[in-house]
Amino acid sequence: MKKARTVFVCKECDYQSAKWLGRCPSCGAWNTFEEETYEDTTAEPEKKTARRLFLSGQNEETEPQLLDYENLPAYLRTDTGMVEFDRVLGGGIVAGSVVLLSGEPGIGKSTLLLQICNSIAKTKKVLYVSGEESVGQISLRAKRLSVKSENLYVLTETDAGKIIKHCEKQKPDVLVIDSIQTMFHEDSTSIPGSATQIRECASIFINKAKTDGTSVLLVGHVNKEGSIAGPKVLEHMVDTVLYFEGEQRQNFRVIRAMKNRFGSTNEIGVFEMTDVGLREVENPSEALLADRPVGVSGNCAVCVIEGTRPIIAEIQALATATIFPAPRRMTAGIDYNRMALILAVLEKRLGLRFSGSDVYLNVIGGLHIDETASDLGVALALISSIRDIPIPDDVMCIGELGLSGECRAVSRLDWRVKEGARLGFRRIFVPARGAAKCQVPDGVKVIPVKSVFDILSLLAPEKK
Ligand code: TYD
Ligand code: MG
């Protein structure tokens, strides 16, 4: 017999409580508890077994096997027609895998998926299910993106059970669900978007992928803190979690893998939003440096490694006299605490006074930098701004900064120097350790830096 049970579930971490709580004792988030009604299915053993088996995709009991990597199963991968997206996935969509693509509203998730569907549909059958837009709206976007294919089907439906029925009829190779938060399962009484519904629906689609090899792409919304709305368990259930990030008002968009069972997680894909959809940016450095200001103080080029690619970005710093009792500090595209650390090092070691200035730090093009190899560039940009001395255009900075002001070695120096040389940088500041071993391209001067003092003296003669 079915028994209804009411529980309160934390939207963030799936913690359950018998009564409503203001703050989740597990993850510490406020106001995240939602009331949900469960149907106690302990009395229905068949259903319980089905649930237990969904992840393995097996319908019968399995036996322990000897670990054997000589006879690996061949993962069938399908190219998405977008090299940047394939790179993040580790070489195309794996048959039977479940990919979760998440990002802020309006970032371009639906646009990207429709474009991908279009190219996959050249060889495979694709079913694009939208729970958010009508067929008319999707067609309008498809027209704008010049999407036209005989193998691409669209469906507007939010009932997960019905979607699976359509899949059984249509037998698509790739199924797109836009978005998982709009889906519901009739057995569950909670509202769409709630933790239980998301979990139930996701498990239905995952089960579909694992049993008949359909590749499933799920769109996930993010909440205002930037994490995927819904229970964290969703991220555990899928094979790959991708984040679509970027500033909405800027054109560059970056896709990053947070988790990938079929590839590495440190590759990124760079796109640009145009009026005819997303365009791949094969050469991000060139694009990011395209409209860099020249002859202005506070700008410095840095090189970070994203996966297997060096990317050159421009750091902008602005230090102005403050009118506030506590000066303002603001960063965009770079970690706030990293800036605080670099400012502290410059104040203490070089005696520069930032405490009377508001400091703003920005990475041009909407790129997010989280590699410490940009520290030296940030420091140089800050010095340049507070002293109002422009850094010459042909200078690039590579190096991590320690608390004593020392410049630490970074990985893959050769790659960075080569990329810098390719883009026309002629003087490249590098950490002293590793500088000797670095291959220097023709026409490039590699300047070893031991500590921040060195960049000071190197910058001073450039005074204009
Ligand atoms: P959309 O893909 O609907 O975003 P999401 O599904 O992530 O919420 O659309 C993203 C934005 O991109 C939308 O506000 C309009 C804009 N856009 C373009 O600039 N060019 C285009 O060709 C398309 C289709 C959309
Ligand atoms: Mg959308």
| Separation between Cα atoms, residue 97 and residue 360, nearest integer Å | 43
Best CA proximity match to 3, nearest among 148, 189, 156: 189
Task: Indicate the SS3 state at residue 321.
Answer: strand
Q: Which residue has the tokens 């469906």?
A: 155
Residue nearest to atom 2 of ligand 1 (CA): 108
Cα-to-chain-centroid distance, residue 217 = 16
Q: How far apart are the CA of 433 and the centre of ligand 2, in A? A: 48
Give a yes or no: residue 277 inside a domain: yes
As given in the structure block, the two tokens for residue 49 are 């077994």
pLDDT digits (tens, 9 = 90+) for 287-344: 888 878 888 999 999 999 987 788 999 999 999 999 999 999 999 989 999 999 999 9
**Is the domain of 258 the same as that of 228?**
yes
Give a yes or no: residue 45 inside a domain: no
Best CA proximity match to 218, nearest among 244, 252, 179: 179
279 lines ligand 1 (CB under 6 A): no
277 lines ligand 1 (CB under 6 A): yes
As given in the structure block, the two tokens for residue 47 are 């259903």
**pLDDT at residue 50, as a whole number:** 46
Q: How far apart are the CA of 212 and the centre of ligand 1, in A? A: 32
CA distance to 123, 259, 273, 442, per residue, from 246 (Å): 31, 19, 10, 36
Q: Is the overall model pTM greater than 0.85, yes or no?
A: no
The answer to whether 180 and 202 are in contact (CB under 8 A) is: yes
CATH code for the domain in which residue 127 is found: 3.40.50.300
Give a yes or no: residue 52 inside a domain: no
Amino acid at 250: Q
Mutation to probe ligand 1, out of 111, 143, 248 (largest number of atoms < 8 A from CB) = 111
H helix or E strand, kind and range, residue 306: strand 299-306
Mutation to probe ligand 1, out of 273, 274, 280 (largest number of atoms < 8 A from CB) = 273
Q: Which residue has the tokens 């008949």?
A: 212
Q: How far apart are the CA of 217 and the centre of ligand 2, in A? A: 13
**Is the domain of 272 the same as that of 219?**
yes
Among 224, 253, 282, the domain boundary falls at 282
**Is the domain of 328 the same as that of 453?**
yes
- Nearest ligand, CA of residue 109? 1
**Is the domain of 142 the same as that of 104?**
yes
Range(s) of the domain holding residue 253: 76-282
CATH code for the domain in which residue 443 is found: 3.30.230.10
Give the number of the atom of ligand 1 that is nearest the alpha carbon of residue 114. 2
Give a yes or no: residue 263 inside a domain: yes
Which residues partner with 34 through β-bridges? 9
Q: How far apart are the CA of 102 and the centre of ligand 1, in A? A: 14
The half-sphere exposure of 76 on its side-chain side, counting CA atoms within 13 A, is: 8
- List helix spans (H) across 267-321: 284-289
**pLDDT at residue 248, as a whole number:** 66
Q: How far apart are the CA of 274 and the centre of ligand 1, in A? A: 9
Residue 339 dihedral angles phi and psi, to the nearest 5°: -65, -45
**Is the domain of 152 the same as that of 102?**
yes
What is the number of other CB atoms lying within 10 angstroms of the CB of residue 70? 4
The half-sphere exposure of 323 on its side-chain side, counting CA atoms within 13 A, is: 0
Provide the residue-wise pLDDT of the chain in tens; the chain has 464 residues. Answer: 556 778 888 877 778 899 999 998 988 888 888 887 766 655 555 454 445 444 445 556 678 888 877 777 677 888 998 999 999 998 899 999 999 999 888 889 999 999 999 999 999 999 999 999 999 999 999 999 998 888 899 999 999 999 999 999 999 999 999 989 999 988 877 778 777 888 889 999 999 999 988 999 999 988 766 666 666 778 889 999 999 887 766 778 889 898 999 888 878 888 998 999 999 988 888 888 887 888 899 999 999 998 778 899 999 999 999 999 999 999 998 999 999 999 999 999 999 999 999 999 999 877 888 899 999 999 999 999 999 999 988 999 999 999 999 999 999 999 899 999 988 899 999 999 888 888 888 899 999 999 988 887 666 654 44
The answer to whether 102 and 221 are in contact (CB under 8 A) is: yes
**pLDDT at residue 289, as a whole number:** 83
**Is the domain of 299 the same as that of 444?**
yes
Give a yes or no: residue 380 inside a domain: yes
116 lines ligand 1 (CB under 6 A): no
Give the number of the atom of ligand 1 that is nearest the alpha carbon of residue 111. 2
Contacts of 305 (CB under 8 A, 6+ apart): 311, 371, 373, 411, 412, 415, 416
**pLDDT at residue 120, as a whole number:** 93
Best CA proximity match to 152, nearest among 199, 102, 118: 118
Task: Indicate the SS3 state at residue 360.
Answer: strand
The answer to whether 281 and 84 are in contact (CB under 8 A) is: yes
102 lines ligand 1 (CB under 6 A): no
Amino acid at 370: D
* 3 state SS for 397-462: ECCEECCCCEEECCCCHHHHHHHHHHCCCCEEEEECCCCCCCCCCCCCEEEEECEHHHHHHHHHHH
Best CA proximity match to 220, nearest among 167, 179, 269, 165: 179
246 lines ligand 1 (CB under 6 A): no
- Number of domains the chain contains: 3
Contacts of 241 (CB under 8 A, 6+ apart): 99, 100, 102, 228, 235, 257, 258, 259, 260
Among 282, 317, 335, the domain boundary falls at 282
108 lines ligand 1 (CB under 6 A): yes
Cα-to-chain-centroid distance, residue 195 = 22
**Is the domain of 379 the same as that of 294?**
yes
The answer to whether 113 and 255 are in contact (CB under 8 A) is: no
Q: How far apart are the CA of 418 and the centre of ligand 2, in A? A: 39
Among 282, 301, 330, the domain boundary falls at 282
Give the number of the atom of ligand 1 that is nearest the alpha carbon of residue 103. 7
| Separation between Cα atoms, residue 168 and residue 407, nearest integer Å | 60
Q: Which residue has the tokens 């320690």?
A: 402
**Is the domain of 91 the same as that of 178?**
yes
Give a yes or no: residue 71 inside a domain: no
What is the number of other CB atoms lying within 10 angstroms of the CB of residue 324? 7
